[in-house]
Amino acid sequence: MKKIQSVIDRIQPPEESGRLLAKRRLDRLTKPPGSLGRLESLAVWYVGATGKVPVPPLQKAIVVFAGDHGVTEEKVSAYPKAVTAQMVYNFLNGGAAINVLARQAGADVRVIDMGVDHDFGKRPGLVDRKIARGTRNMKFGYALSRRKALSAIAVGCELAEEEARRGTNLLGTGEMGIGNTTASSAITALLTGAPVGTVTGRGTGIDLPALRAKRAVIQEAIRVNRPNRHDPIDVLSKVGGFEIAGIVGLLLGAAAHRIPVVVDGFISTAAALIAVSLAPEVKEYLLSAHRSAEPGHRIALAKLGLRPLFDLEMRLGEGTGAALAMGWVESAVRILTEMATFDEAGVSGPEREK
Amino acid sequence: MKKIQSVIDRIQPPEESGRLLAKRRLDRLTKPPGSLGRLESLAVWYVGATGKVPVPPLQKAIVVFAGDHGVTEEKVSAYPKAVTAQMVYNFLNGGAAINVLARQAGADVRVIDMGVDHDFGKRPGLVDRKIARGTRNMKFGYALSRRKALSAIAVGCELAEEEARRGTNLLGTGEMGIGNTTASSAITALLTGAPVGTVTGRGTGIDLPALRAKRAVIQEAIRVNRPNRHDPIDVLSKVGGFEIAGIVGLLLGAAAHRIPVVVDGFISTAAALIAVSLAPEVKEYLLSAHRSAEPGHRIALAKLGLRPLFDLEMRLGEGTGAALAMGWVESAVRILTEMATFDEAGVSGPEREK
């Protein structure tokens, strides 16, 4: 916890002066003031977070954390657990949706093995930070020990630090872990106070009986583990996962290094609930990409006070929503840096009343 | 009208076989079926419209039609009429929002002078198809003659034909014309039957007294001109504009050449109302980019049965919403063409019930 606390202690609020400079420039550009709507707010958010004017070219990376879940024994997913490892190979080979969308956005994809139940050996492109071969089945006790949860958060913090050293100035979150909507629903129920029934959805696409079973498993896990809602690390350890803990750490570390982060879907937002509980100022560095089809996502976003940029009814995870939203952050930054002002272009401003 | 009718006669419905091929492939890709939500529908729409499998690389262009409006005499805009020409120069110099966003999307920008009240002389990059130096003030009679309206539509058809020859396989609409939300509100009121009050908004940002005056001008224009709601060309000629007519023609021509089109905001959608009234099958070739902040836009979209992809509270026009949405069409197409299938990646499918 000492390592994590030192990261938390570094987090500062965004620079009001940067936000103001961005706003002033936006109003001098050749368009009616405010007419680019939320794209303008994005530019202000970005400059406020980094505090850097002029804005340097964007260097984007999406960090995809992978981990397995013991709770898959309870048939909470439509897919077998082996798919987590198989999809990691797919990420490394560039064939998954996140690879396609990240390429288009000009973002690097980092693939982090936080806790996959598979021995990958040495694989080019795979960052091996495995803490264990998956979590334990939360139905019968804690998913990961408090010590392991803290280690996993620390890994995320270190990865953010590495990104800062590399010059990354826009991060996106991603994840892969069969069973992780179960963990995220449990976290969301605990940290928002919403009933398990309303925050638990069909994940990869289970049928109604399986959905009922999934809800019952989460209820049981909460009954057995009695997580302390006022201790986000306790919640993470009792019903979370290694990839979720990694995202928590990435969010903390990114805020400490003033790197704005695009938060993907439901799992990433569950991690954001934990990170913001640990350090409320993290929120200012976060952008919610989209509202996913998972019912708990809306509730988690409301609790965080984050308004998603779009809703394409996506429910894939991996960071796919973040990749799309990163394109818009780039649009916003380019508007700020590339558009002509009224003076430069010789365009008349609004007519004043006489 | 003969020229336009021959274009309309060429329009075919999209290819069901193309749509089916796209759907089948999407379900074999390494993701839960349907988990990319509307991005998957976009891919199906695109392939259905072009009918081409495999999908060739995208060649994108945004066609920005410019025209002036006599009704600006009535102070319906916050900006002086001269801004139309000034912004055309800005487009040619690459300093406007549409230039920035189109560059990012990898789309060419074509700038068409359909009826700007300014003599540009020969300007590199400007396509001179000027029909008149702006419309007449609709408050006192028709905005443009029926003959000129038809000529302007024919220009749009020819431009679509040129794009087809160039190999463009994704078009976006854009426009510039101080006063053109007034024309678009009038068109929307007439073709949807909605009251003028509910379809008329603040455009570039007028205050409440000016908004009241704008509504009164539209009411008066409709009273004076008595446009025939069942004759879309009559509506266009009485209360429309040259740039709007150009978009109408582009939409017809694009559908005839099976080029999918991303429709930008309120003005483009008013043009779509006219185009779809002339040829209902045009609708299948259209994608609504976004819902703009103009109140009439929602009503026009509902009439067309088009569901916008996103809402960033934008109200700039120029094609800015279309440029952002084109990035997503490209994402959808890349998902279809670049992602690995379950077989290729060796990933297990969903577990079947025993």
Question: From CA B196, how far away is CA B336, in angstroms rounded?
Answer: 43
* CA nearest to B204 within chain A: A32
Per-residue burial over B76-110, b if 16 or more Cβ lie within 10 Å, else e, is bbbbebebbbbbbbbbbebbbbbbbbbebbebbbb
Count of A–B CB contacts within 8 Å? 187
Which residues 6+ apart lie within 8 Å of A99 measured at CB? A91, A109, B338
Query: Are the Cβ atoms of B312 and A37 closer than 8 angstroms?
Result: yes
Residue A107: CATH number of its domain: 3.40.50.10210
* CA nearest to B31 within chain A: A316
Whether B353 has a pLDDT exceeding 70, the answer reads: no
Task: Judge whether A9 lies within some domain.
Answer: no
**What are the φ and ψ backbone dihedral angles of B116, each rounded to 5 degrees?**
-85, 140
Bond preceding residue A209 cis, omega within 30 of 0 = no
- B42-101 pLDDT, tens digit each: 999 999 999 998 999 999 999 999 999 999 999 999 999 999 999 999 999 999 999 999
pLDDT at residue A352, as a whole number:
59
- Report helix angle B232-239 to B208-225, nearest 10: 130
Which residues 6+ apart lie within 8 Å of A299 measured at CB? A188, A192, A194, A198, A199
Closest CA to B204 of A335, A30, A333: A30
Torsion, Cα of B248, B249, B251, B252 (10° steps) = 120
Give the residue from A83, A208, A318, A352 with the most B CB atoms within 10 Å of its CB, the best one to mutate.
Answer: A83
- A76-113 pLDDT, tens digit each: 999 999 999 999 999 999 999 999 999 999 999 999 99
Minimal C-alpha gap between A117 and chain B (Å): 15
Query: Are the Cβ atoms of B82 and A36 closer than 8 angstroms?
Result: no
Domain that holds residue B193: 58-328
Contact B14, B284 (CB under 8 A): yes
Whether B350 has a pLDDT exceeding 90, the answer reads: no
Question: From CA A152, how far away is CA A243, in angstroms rounded?
Answer: 8
Contact B67, B84 (CB under 8 A): yes
Query: Are the Cβ atoms of A93 and B293 closer than 8 angstroms?
Result: no
Task: Judge whether B14 lies within some domain.
Answer: no
pLDDT at residue A354, as a whole number:
38
- A86 contact residues in B (CB cutoff 8 A): 345-348
Q: Give this prediction's pTM.
A: 0.97
- A253-274 pLDDT, tens digit each: 999 999 999 999 999 999 999 9
Angle at B244 between CA B243 and CA B245, to 5 degrees: 90
* Catalytic residue ranges of B: 318
Tokens of B202: 């603040």
Find the length of chain A. Answer: 354
Domain total of chain B:
1
Residue of A318, A338, A344, A353 marked active site? A318
- CA-CA distances (angstroms) from residue A20 to A16, A337, B139? 6, 15, 43
Contact B231, B261 (CB under 8 A): no
Question: From CA B302, how far away is CA B306, in angstroms rounded?
Answer: 6
Task: Judge whether B53 lies within some domain.
Answer: no
Contact A293, A315 (CB under 8 A): yes
Which residues 6+ apart lie within 8 Å of A354 measured at CB? none
Minimal C-alpha gap between A144 and chain B (Å): 26
Question: From CA A227, how far away is CA A146, in angstroms rounded?
Answer: 12
Task: Judge whether A68 lies within some domain.
Answer: yes
Give the residue from B90, B337, B353 with the most A CB atoms within 10 Å of its CB, the best one to mutate.
Answer: B90
Which residues 6+ apart lie within 8 Å of B299 measured at CB? B188, B192, B194, B198, B199
Contact B170, B57 (CB under 8 A): no
Whether B352 has a pLDDT exceeding 70, the answer reads: no
Instruction: Describe the strand order of the beta sheet including B107-115 as a list of residue ranges.
Output: B126-128, B107-115, B60-67, B170-176, B261-263, B286-288
Whether A320 has a pLDDT exceeding 80, the answer reads: yes
Whether B287 has a pLDDT exceeding 90, the answer reads: yes
Minimal C-alpha gap between A319 and chain B (Å): 12
Task: Judge whether B354 lies within some domain.
Answer: no
Whether B354 has a pLDDT exceeding 60, the answer reads: no
Task: Judge whether B155 lies within some domain.
Answer: yes
Whether A22 has a pLDDT exceeding 90, the answer reads: yes
- A165-224 pLDDT, tens digit each: 999 999 999 999 999 999 999 999 999 999 999 999 999 899 999 999 999 999 999 999
Query: In this complex, which of A103, A313, A347 lies closest to B37 when CB atoms are compared?
Result: A313
**What are the φ and ψ backbone dihedral angles of A291, each rounded to 5 degrees?**
-95, 120
Task: Judge whether A118 lies within some domain.
Answer: yes
Tokens of A220: 């049981």
pLDDT at residue B157, as a whole number:
98
The span from the first CA to the last CA of chain B, in angstroms, equals 64
Residue A293 one-letter amino acid: A
Burial class of residue B253, CB neighbours in 10 A (0-12, 13-18, 19+):
buried
Minimal C-alpha gap between B233 and chain A (Å): 31
Closest CA to B87 of A342, A287, A151, A96: A342
Tokens of A66: 């992978």
Give me chain B's average pLDDT, please.
97
Neighbours of A346 (CB within 10 A): 12
Alpha helices (runs of H) in B55-168, residue ranges in sequence order: 82-93, 97-105, 146-166
Whether A39 has a pLDDT exceeding 60, the answer reads: yes
Whether A351 has a pLDDT exceeding 90, the answer reads: no
Task: Judge whether B47 lies within some domain.
Answer: no
